[in-house]
Chain A
Amino acid sequence: MPATADKMSAAERLFYAFGKVTGWAGSAWRPPPGGGQPRGCASPLGLLKTLVFLLCIICLPVFMVPWILAWTVRTGRDGLRFSAAVDVLSGEKARWATGIIAKPVDNSQTGAAAEEIQLRDPGFQVRVLTGWAVAATGRLRDSLLSGDATVTRTFMSNGLYRVHEARLHLLSQAGVACTGSWQVTDAAVTGVFRSPLTEQVRVRVRCAGWRREQHQPSGTTLRGGPQASTWLEDLVFARSADALTPRGGGLPAERCPSCGAGLDLDTNGACRYCRGVVTAGRHDWVLVSWQSEPW
């Protein structure tokens, strides 16, 4: 269905038309397209536009109230529930509140869950995952700098890979480029969890270096800069609750967890030798969540 299939209600059309008139009237105070000073009230048309603009301000609620009422009737209680439940922030507050790293889970809980996993799967070793998290962070950096998600294919779950790929696509469409240089200086497991369906391990890495995100068409720096800094990143690995560590070491050892061949995956996360999809978490650990501190 095309996007244009949505029909505007009469109240919305009225408010939209009001916006257009306000925009036209406000143009008296904008500089002309070729540059120079705005004409303001210097011409009769400018004076008329100014009067219309003032009238628009006075009459604003006449057009706004039907629009609000129509929206309230359409959304009803759901709209209020949504507004009350969703956490929306704007400005610098929004920027610095996104991606706050959660406190580590209690050590005793983590230890107990790790022991439970080790009892079921003797091949499970936490340090293998920390080492893998360090390597994964390096590849994530490469994919952000190049705008190409392919290098992350070998350790990301299919879901996260698709999200990462789409995110890089969105940034590229918007003309945003990432530059920088950083590496991991420290990594530690901060949470282990087991449920009837899945097992999850959270690894926290500390990165040092610099990074910058820039909107190239306007030259606006979105985040970061050339100055060196350190920050934390959380990587959550997960696998199916009945998966066992593969004999050859699996994905962290660059081996196919299904057939044991050297790791060579297509874009779907399927091994080119055995055709098995190995990045769904059924055979081995895969990265299901990646979070970087606000920057």
Chain B
Amino acid sequence: MVGDAALLSSGAAASTVLASTVLASTVLASTVLASTVRSAFGWAAFVIFLSWVLLFVLLIGTLVAITLMRGRRERQRQIQGAAETSISRPSTAPLLPARLAQLRSADSSFDEQLLLEVAQMACLLMFAAQATGDEQAIRRLTAPAFWSTFSGRYTATTARSVRQNRDPHAPPTRQSRFPVDFQAAAPELIDLELGAWQQARIRVSFTQLRAIVSPGAEREAAAATVTSLGSLARSLGGNMNDRMRSSGTFTTGLGWVSWSGRYDLVFLRPGGARTDPAAALASRTCAVCGATYRSDLAVECAHCHTERPLAPGQWQLADMTIVT
């Protein structure tokens, strides 16, 4: 019995110790956990707060920089004088006529008119890619180096964004983004450099109007032209609202975005390249089945599905810079 009592007594003591230990551990763990949780929430709140601050600093900084640059550009415009018209004197390089003659003597089939046509076409295809998300047609006309320039990256990113932003809930026929108008002044050859690589610089002025027919089209169009913090907030809020409410109802909206500007397009080809006169004429029909391509948007034959080839000696778009 004594042994039992001792055992009981020692057991009770052990139980008490164990209970005390568990209680103490629980209290400690709870305290540590609470503190950890508090600090995790604290950190999360701090990160979120900091990112809001950063977002506003970035946006305000960008808006200020763009406003200042726009102001400087407007002042320069005013100094330069009258408003521009489509028929304006070309600002051609002084050596252009001589270089043109030199190129014509080296390449008797060279025709600057064909080059100007490609430039005009490249502009439309680029803006079509940005509107529809389909960039295969413009990729036919560009050199690989183009896609590492600002214009190339911008076109690729915008086209990809359009592809990703297509509303998966709305039927494909109810959402479209396409250029309805593309009005370009006659392009001008303004510079030509001959060397290991032949380089032609062509100036194109144009205005394009893009229609967006999709749920939330007005908001999508507005997001393309955010000019102030107010419009940014309205655009962000509107997009969130559309995500919550409009998408499933398939209510088709209509939005408009217009672009205008002057661009210098740089075309390159190897120094020894020569124009193939037959290729220029044959480029509109499929070499395999003879069918006519519907337009320059076609990257393969609609009948035999053969890939549309690129003419040898073809100039390729290497860069596109905006004229400020």
CA distance A32 to B249 in the complex (A): 9
Nearest neighbor of A202 in chain B, beta-carbon distance: B87
Interchain CB contact (< 8 A) of A22 among B48, B73, B243, B285: B243
CA distance A84 to B71 in the complex (A): 9
B31 within 8 A of A: no
A94:B209 contact, CB within 8 angstroms: yes
Nearest neighbor of B115 in chain A, beta-carbon distance: A159
Interchain CB contact (< 8 A) of A82 among B120, B150, B169, B254: B150
B86:A202 contact, CB within 8 angstroms: yes
CA distance A217 to B224 in the complex (A): 25
Contacts of B116 in A (CB 8 A): 159
Interchain CB contact (< 8 A) of A3 among B113, B159, B187, B281: B159
B160:A3 contact, CB within 8 angstroms: yes
B81 within 8 A of A: no
Q: A30-B244, A95-B258 are in contact. Are A162 and B69 (CB under 8 A)?
A: no
A78:B55 contact, CB within 8 angstroms: no
- Of A63-71, A180-188, A244-252, which binds chain B? A63-71
B249:A26 contact, CB within 8 angstroms: no
A80 within 8 A of B: yes
- Of A114-122, A132-140, A274-282, which binds chain B? A274-282
A108 within 8 A of B: no
Interchain CB contact (< 8 A) of B257 among A61, A89, A197, A215: A89
B156 within 8 A of A: yes
Interchain CB contact (< 8 A) of A80 among B66, B144, B209, B254: B66
How many residues of chain A get a CB closer than 8 Å to chain B's CBs? 103
Contacts of A157 in B (CB 8 A): 113, 117, 186
A43 within 8 A of B: no
CA distance A167 to B128 in the complex (A): 9
A82-100 CB contacts (< 8 Å) to partner B = 82-92, 94-95, 97-99
Contacts of A58 in B (CB 8 A): 48
A152 within 8 A of B: no
B260 within 8 A of A: yes
Q: Mark B208-236, 1 if CB is under 8 A from A, else 0.
A: 11010100001001101100000000001
Contacts of B324 in A (CB 8 A): 81, 84-85
CA distance A80 to B114 in the complex (A): 33
Interchain CB contact (< 8 A) of A102 among B73, B86, B255, B296: B86
26 A–B pairs (Cβ distance < 8 Å), ordered by A: A16-B164, A22-B240, A27-B248, A33-B248, A38-B248, A64-B55, A65-B58, A80-B65, A84-B66, A84-B73, A85-B73, A85-B322, A86-B259, A91-B255, A99-B209, A157-B186, A169-B294, A170-B128, A196-B92, A215-B213, A218-B173, A218-B213, A236-B86, A289-B185, A291-B86, A292-B181
Residues of A within 8 A of B (CB): 1-3, 6, 8, 16, 19, 22-23, 26-27, 29-33, 38, 53, 57-62, 64-65, 68-69, 71-72, 74-75, 78-92, 94-95, 97-99, 102-103, 105, 149, 157-160, 162-163, 165-171, 173-176, 191, 193, 195-198, 200, 202, 213, 215, 217-218, 220, 222-223, 234, 236, 238, 267-268, 270, 277, 280-282, 288-292
